[in-house]
Structure 1
Amino acid sequence: MIMSFRWFGEKGDSVTLNQIRQIPGVKNVVGALYDVPVGDPWPMDKILRLKRQVNDNGLALEVIESVNIHEDIKLGAPTRDMYIENYRESIRNLAKAGVKVICYNFMPVFDWVRTELFRPLGDGSTAMAYNHELLRNMSPNDLVAYVENNSNGFELPGWEKDRLSELKTVFEQYSDIDDEKLFENYKYFLEGIIPVCEEVGVRMAVHPDDPPRSLFGLPRIVINKKNLDRIVRMVDSPCNGITFCTGSLGANRENDLPEMIRYFGGMGKIPFAHVRNIKFLDGESYHESSHLSSDGSLDLYEIMKAFYDIHFDGYLRPDHGRTIWGEKARPGYGLYDRALGVTYLNGLWEALSKSNSAV
């Protein structure tokens, strides 16, 4: 396991690289370029500048999250070949800079969705939350306005204004796109990029839909074991893999996370993992919690044991944390609770390693 930590850049993050390097066990930064429009190729000079920033602080940059996919690719629009070619150029440039894994998603319109960004919890902290009943009474524009007005002044990944400025038009374009059509367009994309990934040694790792269910009538397909199995077999290659996000997949109560880790890990399909915890509320609603198993509904010991059992040697990072100790940060991505998450996950891993070596 290679422990890593997400960073949004010097202008977009309340956390600094100097702080990240002080977290025990963290040697890798998961980064991205946030000033390149979706669909444009990532320029070599900007990639190298990011790499230098990270390396100058004694950290490695081997995972990128995310090279976002233009909506025309998901829609199967006539312009998709141009955007796929741009994506191939980005992959080649990232490989030249030493990047090994690209985390991405195939979610229509919205990436992750939450109805609360700073829900007060009983211990005085706050956390992101998803209220399914509340969302049913919101319009897409209501949701966008809420996120924009409650993000602590940060522009959030997947919620960039240029992507969401024409919601009515985009929803009309998706009116005839169902799950099967989205699978078809997804396969076309993979067939276009995976040969380049094999050529340059980059592994793609799709992030599950967050939450793993249809929203506002949009198709969502990266939601469960059955669909993930179909995705990794659509283009059967070591470079076509999964970002195993326990919080996203865990929000579907039917997903058996340890079993899925062993299944896809046994196939060599998990190059990257996000590990976090959630606390179920009524029905399909939940709020995020600390990583500690007893604080949430997911058993992180069993999850980490599954990763240990498959001899996981990929990249792993703590995912969304609470906002604690008065920190002002982007929702889910403060320093303190994620650093506690690193320590907890490393502790579980050390205990698993030592207890098994003693047998």
Structure 2
Amino acid sequence: MIRDCKKLEQTWRWYGNYDSISLQEIVQTGATGIVTALHHIPIGDVWTTEEIEKRKKEIEDAGLRWSVVESIPVHEDIKRQIGNYENYIENYKESLKNLGKCGIKTVCYNFMPVLDWTRTDLEYETADKSTALRFEESALAAFDLYILQRSAAKSSYPEQVIQEAEAFYKKLSSKDAEILTDTILAGLPGSEEGYSLDEFKEMLKSYKGITANDLKEHLYHFLKEVIPAAEQAGIKMAIHPDDPPFPLFGLPRVVSTESDAKSLLDVVDSVHNGLTFCTGSYGARADNDLTGMVKRLGHRINFIHLRSVQHESGKSFHEANHLEGSADIPSVMRAIIEEQLNRKKTGRDDTDIPMRPDHGHKMLDDMNKESAPGYSLIGRLRGLAELRGLETGIRNTLEIH
């Protein structure tokens, strides 16, 4: 019997003053760690120790721990390598240094250009009448072709999707078109920027000529600059995959597959250059072998988002219940626990990897309350409870306590 192996640290994403869910309510979910950011600080500015300590004290006064920063946003100039990007990188390093001084040791971030995570429907009704987030390829194509009217849009989609998009658009009322536009451009929770239609068009123009290879090289440059600073600060960096994991609006996305992840890890071979393993984002692609990715890349996983999506036709999907859908979450959980055992055997001190239930359906009393899309209270509580039980059951089966 193997004993004394720490469990995953159960965490909860909280949006500070913007969040309708209180820290006291989070305490009652059983989570012990908070995942949050200083959303009020402009992108590119330094996070000062004063601001960090203020947020940290607020969390600790509620009996919780600030476990993970999600996220320090990467300025668009860094992604494009234009303007003041070098100064923004230096500011990023300074923020990491200050977080390290304050005892916060894990930072999640992403490198998605212009748009953060993207959905086309925030109120998709599931079989049990709860509502979920959905990405519908024909809806995105309808927006791209007929609302945004991007010149190269037609070459981005198969003919069948173009036909479905035309049919979709013809059924839209003006109000529906406005809702679709806001859903795509206004910015979902965690994204720090929203755009008007004209602003979005200008941002797309600013990426003209930047290929996937260019964006990868810009990411690798960022890693070579930032990871040494993270090492000095004692911080584990954890890059979040693209969501969804494929190009949108002609913009390249370069953290979508196992190959992408391995390449960026190889650029700076350090445990401080690690992954946020999001089973929902990677899992939106059927060709990503989630369990295999944990087995092969698990030693570089610094943070975990657990959720499942249900694949539909083409690239479409919707958020499933945490233990349902297209992802084999039990198999993934077992692989994560096995990774923890490997860490213990090799003397690593980071066996209690932070994990959070990612997204959740609106259900029960969630329906009567305001909450950020994907970040309902009861829906995520259900997810956390299911994941907690799954972990406990697997550990008991393996006789790990």
TM superposition score normalised by structure 2:
0.83
Is the 1:103–1:204 Cα contact (8 Å) retained in structure 2? yes
Match of 1:357 in 2: 399
Structure 2 residue aligned with 1:254: 287
Look up the match of 1:245: 278
> 1:155-194, aligned counterparts within 5 Å?
156-158=189-191, 160-161=193-194, 166-194=199-227
Deviation of 1:306 after TM superposition, in Å, equals 1.1
**Alignment partner, residue 224 of structure 1:** 257
Q: Secondary structure at the residue paired with 1:232?
A: helix
Change (3 A) 1:229 1:358: closer
**Amino acid of the residue matched to residue 82 of structure 1?**
N
SS of 1:42's equivalent in the other structure is coil
The AA in structure 2 aligned to 1:6 is R
**Preserved CA contact (<8 Å) 1:280 1:297:** yes
Equivalent residue runs for 1:53-132 within 5 Å: 53-132=58-137
Q: 1:131-156 CA deviation, whole Å, 9 max, x = no partner?
A: 012111213976996467569x9973
1:273 maps to which of 304, 329, 333: 304
d(CA) in 2 for partners of 1:122 and 1:354?
A: 32
Q: Which amino acid aligns with 1:41?
A: V
Aligned mates of 1:178, 1:190 — CA distance in 2: 18
C-alpha distance in 2 between matches for 1:308 and 1:358: 9
Q: Secondary structure at the match of 1:242?
A: strand
The structure 2 residue matched to 1:44, chosen from 49, 73, 76, is 49
Is 1:292 the equivalent of 2:323?
yes
Deviations 1:220-263 (CA, angstroms, capped at 9, x unpaired): 01001111000001111111000000000000000010000111
Please, which of 380, 387, 392 is the counterpart of residue 338 of structure 1? 380
CA offset at residue 43 of structure 1?
2.2
CA contact (8 A) 2:79 2:218 kept: yes
Moved more, 320-329 or 98-107: 320-329
Could you tell me how far 1:120 is from its partner in structure 2?
1.3
- 8 Å contact kept, 1:14–1:334: no
Q: Does the aligned pair in 2 maintain the 1:245–1:274 contact within 8 Å?
A: yes
RMSD: 2.3
Output the CA distance in 2 between the equivalents of 1:85 and 1:145.
Answer: 39
Q: Is the radius of gyration larger for structure 1 or structure 2?
A: 2
**1:5 equivalent among 1, 4, 12:** 12
Maintained 8 Å contact 2:89/2:225:
yes
Report sequence identity in percent: 38
Aligned residue among 236, 257, 277 for 2:269? 236
Q: Which residue of 2 aligns with 1:14?
A: 20
Contact 1:61 1:98 in 2 (8 A): no
Q: SS of 2:79's equivalent?
A: helix
CA 1:200/1:65 → structure 2, altered by over 3 Å: closer, same or farther? same
Give the CA deviation at 1:172: 1.3
Q: Partner of 1:22: helix, strand, or coil?
A: helix
**Counterpart amino acid of 2:63?**
G
The 3-state SS of whatever aligns with 1:49 is helix
Q: Could you tell me whether the CA contact under 8 Å between 1:276 and 1:290 is conserved in 2?
A: yes
Q: Is the Cα contact below 8 Å between 1:42 and 1:93 reproduced in 2?
A: yes
Q: Is the 8 A contact 1:204 1:239 kept in 2?
A: yes
CA contact (8 A) 1:87 1:193 kept: yes
User: TM-score w.r.t. structure 1 length?
Assistant: 0.93
Q: Does the Cα contact within 8 Å between 2:119 and 2:133 map onto a contact in 1? A: yes
After superposition, the Cα gap between the structure-2 partners of 1:147 and 1:37, relative to the gap in structure 1 and judged at 3 Å, is farther
Contact kept in structure 2, 1:39 and 1:86, CA below 8 Å: yes
Is this contact kept in 2: 1:109–1:164, CA < 8 A?
Answer: no
Q: Which residue of 2 aligns with 1:133?
A: 138
Report how far residue 159 of structure 1 moved. Answer: 5.3
Deviates more, 1:308-317 or 1:191-200: 308-317
Aligned length: 352
Residue 318 (structure 1) aligns with? 357
Amino acid at match of 2:23: L
Q: What amino acid does structure 2 have at the position aligned with 1:211?
A: P
1:62–1:98 contact (8 Å) kept in structure 2 = no
- Structure 1: runs of 5+ lacking an equivalent: none
